[in-house]
Chain A
Amino acid sequence: MFETLSTILKYVFAIIIYIFIYSIIRLIYLDIRSMSAKAVSSSGKHPYLKLLNIREELPFKVEEIYILDGNKTIGRSNDNEFVIKDPFLSGRHAEFLLKDGMIYVKDRGSKNGTFVNNERIGSTEVCINNGDRIQVGSLSFILIKDE
């Protein structure tokens, strides 16, 4: 009784272990693919913000590229689309708006301000174009937009 059961279950055992290994490797693979997918889609048709700071020198987590495929808010608190733990950013710092293929940016009442080409902007929307510099906190970005 025990012998037959153990003999059958040893195959089940091996199969389960390999299913486990497969699922881990699959998740790791998806992890890698989602990282490279980010880089690929950034070269696609969406406009994006490119970081001008040297990322390795910043003491917090920040991406090289932020894709603007919709309205996006930026700030330190977790309810923003772009969460960056920069101490010079406000909780809700600024917002990027997409209207009819144009991109607008507005400040959301931040302490240290939002700058477009070194000019401080207020809570009114400002249109930005390809190559414009946007500064928030200690970070500066350049807007890349295919015409």
Chain B
Amino acid sequence: MKGFTKYFKPIYPVILINIIGYFLLYLYRQPYEQATVFSGLAVIALICITYALIIKLMLGDEYLFLIVSMLVSLGIIMLYRINKELAVKQILWLALGIALFFLCYFIYTRFAKWDKLIFFYLGGALGLFVFTMAFAKNIKGAKNWIFIGDFSIQASEIIKVLYILLLASYYTNPEKLQINGLKLMGREICINHKLVFIVISYCHIGFLILQKELGTAFLLFAVFFLFLFVSGSNVWVMAINACIASIGGVLSYLLMNHIRVRVDIWMNPWADISNRGYQVAQSLFAIGAGGFFGTGLGLGRPDLIPEVHSDFIFSAICEEMGVFGGIAVIFLFFIFVYRGVKISLMAKEPFDKNAALGITLMFGLQTFIILGGVTKLIPLTGITLPFISYGGSSLTTGFISLGFLQAISNKY
């Protein structure tokens, strides 16, 4: 029992943050609404039940979910302050996400043939690409949303997970992608599996660029490149890939107008502040207005930033919770990545190792890309901040990946 209370301790700050947050939000919204209290209780209950289940059923690493629960709490409190309806939806997504988390955990531990399904992952991703190209509607400049009734699903989020599984199964059984005995003009040719894999990866990235999903394209390339490095590839293979990427980047800068706009804004958002640079400029103003400890919840004006609920939620956190709050978020992602890398190092089967590394890299790089974007460190690309930003697809696929990571952590 003593051990139980000792392990239960880190959950207290999470609960306390939620209590203070929703207490403030209850006072903030005039007239007072009971819905605020219920939302807060719902979030606390979800987090506590999940954490207790992880501890009781001994589902492996408990720090992962603790860190994620803090991130999710901060995200939903901030969303509730910005837009109540979205926050309530996000709480529903959180419930669905946690259900999927457990489901994926159990599927991953029961089902052993994950590394054999490489063509299934490939087919799934390509199918989604074709489907989105044919049927998807255009939302916010990116053509990657699938509509099913009233729901919209962001296909690139699912493709991300499929690509990680593809990577992991390729590095487990590379010879599966070898093409042997292909007849071409009377001659038999063999194509090396490395070449096939690189072509497949660039196909993914190319499709994403066609759909104007620059953030996800950059993310997949970064994961792909780091995997080349981790798997101990030839220096020349890496150098050639870096060259291809640079040439591709320069070409797309020259050819595609929207990429040029992004880079121009990044170089100087103040040149066209009332129009194209407005979003980044407002984000920088918000971060600046916050100071060290922020303005306090409900006292800032994060609503001035367009898209503050999804891509720019970090600016809102910085404004109302201060630079210390922002650094805390970065810190949380740091320890999350640390845990992920440790799980990957402890794993013994190659597929588990690669999948854990891929998932960790995906979360870490995604955080870097969007935080760099909103703080004008790198050009802004629309991508969500994992577990914090509003977005059903983003949150649920985040929890699916987390379920896989949790399952891997319990195997060893």
A interface residues (Cβ-Cβ under 8 A, vs B)? 1-3, 5-7, 9-14, 16-21, 23-25, 27-28, 56, 61
Contacts and interface: CB of A to CB of B under 8 A. Distances in A.
Given A9-B24, A61-B412, A16 B335 contact: no
B331 interface: yes
B17 interface: yes
Contacts of B320: 10
Contact of B10 (A1, A5, A24): A24
Given A3-B299, A28-B335, A61-B412, A13 B13 contact: no
A78 B20 CA distance: 43
Contacts of A3: 296, 299
Interface in B22-45: 24, 27-28
A21 B320 CA distance: 19
A7 B412 contact: no
Given A10-B322, A13-B325, A17-B325, A56 B13 contact: no
Given A9-B296, A10-B294, A17-B13, 5 more contacts: A2-B27, A7-B299, A20-B13, A20-B14, A24-B67
Contacts of A61: 412
B293 interface: yes
Contact of B298 (A2, A18, A28): A2
Contact of B328 (A2, A5, A21, A28): A21
Contacts of A14: 293, 321-322, 324-325, 328
A21 B332 contact: yes
B325 to A, nearest CB: 6
B296 A17 contact: no
Contact of A6 (B14, B298, B325): B298
B299 A6 contact: yes
A82 B21 CA distance: 46
Contacts of A9: 20, 24, 296-297
Interface residues of B, number: 36
Nearest to A55: B348
Nearest to A20: B13
B174 to A, nearest CB: 20
B63 A27 contact: yes
B63 A10 contact: no
Contact of B13 (A11, A16, A25): A16
B183 interface: no
**Closest A-B pairs by Cβ, 10 of them:** A20-B13, A6-B296, A10-B296, A17-B328, A14-B324, A23-B10, A7-B296, A16-B13, A2-B27, A10-B293
A9 B70 CA distance: 17
A5 B27 contact: yes
A56 B20 contact: no
21 contacts: A1-B27, A2-B27, A6-B296, A6-B298, A9-B296, A9-B297, A10-B293, A10-B297, A10-B320, A13-B17, A13-B20, A13-B297, A13-B321, A14-B324, A17-B328, A18-B328, A23-B9, A23-B13, A25-B335, A27-B63, A28-B63
Contacts of B325: 13-14, 17
A16 B70 CA distance: 11
B376 interface: no
Nearest to A32: B342
A10 B335 CA distance: 23
A112 B328 CA distance: 55
A25 B66 CA distance: 12
A2 B335 contact: no
B16 interface: yes
Given A23-B9, A24-B10, A17 B294 contact: no
Interface string B263-306: 00000000000000000000000000000011111110000000
B338 interface: yes
B351 to A, nearest CB: 14
B339 interface: yes
A136 B150 CA distance: 61
B6 to A, nearest CB: 9
B335 A6 contact: no
A2 B21 CA distance: 13
Quick one: which of A2, A11, A28, A56 has the most chain B CB within 10 A? A2
Given A2-B28, A21-B331, A23-B10, A16 B63 contact: no
Nearest to B293: A10
Nearest to B334: A21
B56 to A, nearest CB: 15
A16 B20 contact: yes
A138 to B, nearest CB: 16
Nearest to B74: A17
